[in-house]
């Protein structure tokens, strides 16, 4: 099984990706950038462009490493193709179309999961993209993958979507086993995921298939595999994309691969490196701390009876206070 680091807007930016790759990258086959918006103005937002510039992604820029995939948010073939050409010129070999973002600001603009509400439009958009790809020198050798949900409100929408996806030479299809209206809540819809995979293959779809949704532990992983085996599709799913599970446990992929569990000293080192990485990336100390707090919202689960210590971390308003509070957490709470 291959493991991928999911795109997470504002969290999995280059400081995190580079540090994670350096420490835990041996068990991650691909990292996905958060989406880069393909705007009608044909300009990238500075923050999004900076995130994918090779100069900021040095660990990925050597030895023909192709493990960083850039995700594009676009509501039509024209802007997608413009962005794809620009990004391909930076040296990327795989581009991923976002068909899952549930945010109303995105959906209302007919992008992300918004595209799933109009299968005929999505069909014509994909048709235009793949037709143009063949005729465009810069894109001919680029893989185009998708990351989709099962539908907008009803998981059965996936059956029609799979018919559409199967028509195109998509390199890999990641299915986040939820519908748009689930946002990130509820359990993943595993039965609907299995039915979608079957439908996709019945329709002749050839893409690699990646499962995504709520893999936080070895137990989650094994129960998902057991279900895929029971449904006879374990061999069809070649990868799993891990999102919040990797925020909680940066060594999750290593553990799922049957190797060592996360140790306290390496978590400490990871957090120290993240602080230094964000210090270069974010000008204000307070905002660096806020960024680290996003991680602590997940990471605190490794510490037993840590409420008091976590509160101190959350209250820190300077680097000194923050580092002292983190030291206390490691010194005082049992690591699990
Ligand atoms: C804060 C946050 C930001 C996200 N940003 C993106 C994004 O930019 N592109 C995308 O395709 N999915 C995005 N996602 C969805 C994740 O990639 C993933 O599909 C989702 O979290 C389910 O996987 P998980 O249960 O392993 O976390 C985001 C999720 C979260 C929680």
Measure 61 CA to ligand 1 centroid, in angstroms: 24
Provide CB contacts within 8 A for 222, sequence distance 6+: none
Nearest CA to ligand 1 atom 19: 176
- Name the residue of 3, 5, 6 whose CB sits within 8 Å of the most ligand 1 atoms, as the mutation to test its pocket: 6
What residue spans of 231-284 are helical by DSSP H? 244-248, 252-256, 264-281
Separation between Cα atoms, residue 78 and residue 38, nearest integer Å: 9
pLDDT at 202: 98
The confidence score (pLDDT) of residue 102 equals 97
The pLDDT score that the predictor gives to residue 61 is 84
C-beta separation of 4 from 44 below 8 A:
no
pLDDT of 63 reads: 77
CA 39 to chain centre: 21
Query: Of 211, 213, 204, 203, which Cα lies nearest the Cα of 235?
Result: 211
For domain 2-256, the CATH architecture is: Alpha-Beta Barrel (3.20)
CB distance 68 to 58 below 8 Å = no
| Best probe residue, ligand 1, of 3, 4, 9 (max atoms within 8 Å of C-beta) | 9
Report yes or no: 166 and 205 within 8 Å, Cβ to Cβ: yes
Q: What distance in Å separates the CA atoms of residue 5 and residue 196, rounded to the nearest whole number? A: 22
Parallel/antiparallel/unpaired status of strands 172-179 and 30-32: unpaired
- How many residues belong to the chain? 336
Q: In the 8-state DSSP scheme, what is residue 59?
A: G
User: Per-residue confidence of the chain (336 residues) as pLDDT tens digits?
Assistant: 999 999 999 999 999 999 999 999 999 999 999 999 999 999 999 999 999 999 999 999 887 899 999 999 999 999 999 999 999 999 999 999 999 999 999 999 999 999 999 999 999 999 999 999 999 999 999 999 999 999 999 999 999 999 999 999 999 999 999 999 999 999 999 999 999 999 999 999 999 999 999 999 999 999 999 999 999 999 999 999 999 999 999 999 999 999 999 999 999 999 999 999 999 999 999 999 999 999 999 999 999 999 999 999 999 999 999 999 999 999 999 999
User: Are the CB atoms for 52 and 87 separated by under 8 Å?
Assistant: yes
């Amino acid at each position: 099984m291959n493991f991928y680091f999911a795109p997470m807007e504002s969290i999995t930016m280059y400081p995190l990706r580079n540090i994670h790759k350096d420490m835990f990258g041996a068990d991650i086959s691909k990292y996905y950038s958060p989406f880069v918006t393909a705007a009608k103005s044909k300009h990238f937002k500075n923050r999004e462009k900076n995130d994918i510039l090779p100069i900021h992604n040095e660990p990925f820029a050597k030895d023909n490493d192709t493990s960083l995939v850039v995700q594009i948010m676009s509501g039509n073939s024209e802007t997608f193709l413009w962005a794809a050409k620009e990004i391909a010129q930076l040296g990327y070999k795989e581009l991923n179309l976002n068909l899952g973002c549930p945010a109303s600001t995105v959906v209302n603009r007919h992008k992300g999961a918004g595209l799933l509400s109009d299968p005929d439009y999505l069909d014509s958009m994909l048709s235009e993209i793949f037709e143009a790809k063949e005729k465009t020198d810069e894109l001919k050798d680029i893989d185009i993958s998708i990351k989709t949900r099962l539908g907008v409100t009803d998981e059965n929408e996936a059956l029609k979507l799979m018919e559409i996806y199967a028509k195109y030479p998509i390199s890999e299809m990641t299915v986040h086993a939820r519908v748009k209206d689930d946002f990130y809540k509820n359990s993943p819809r595993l039965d609907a995921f299995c039915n979608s995979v079957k439908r996709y293959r019945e329709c002749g779809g050839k893409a690699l298939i990646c499962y995504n949704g709520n893999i936080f532990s070895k137990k989650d992983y094994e129960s998902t595999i057991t279900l895929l085996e029971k449904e006879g599709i374990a061999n069809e799913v070649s990868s799993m994309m891990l999102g919040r599970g990797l925020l909680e446990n940066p060594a999750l992929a290593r553990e799922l691969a049957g190797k060592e569990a996360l140790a306290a000293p390496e978590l400490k080192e990871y957090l120290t490196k993240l602080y230094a990485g964000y210090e270069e990336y974010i000008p204000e100390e307070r905002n660096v701390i806020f960024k680290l707090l996003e991680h602590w919202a997940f990471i605190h689960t490794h510490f037993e009876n840590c409420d008091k210590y976590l509160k101190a971390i959350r209250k820190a308003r300077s680097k000194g206070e923050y580092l002292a509070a983190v030291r206390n957490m490691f010194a005082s709470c049992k690591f699990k």
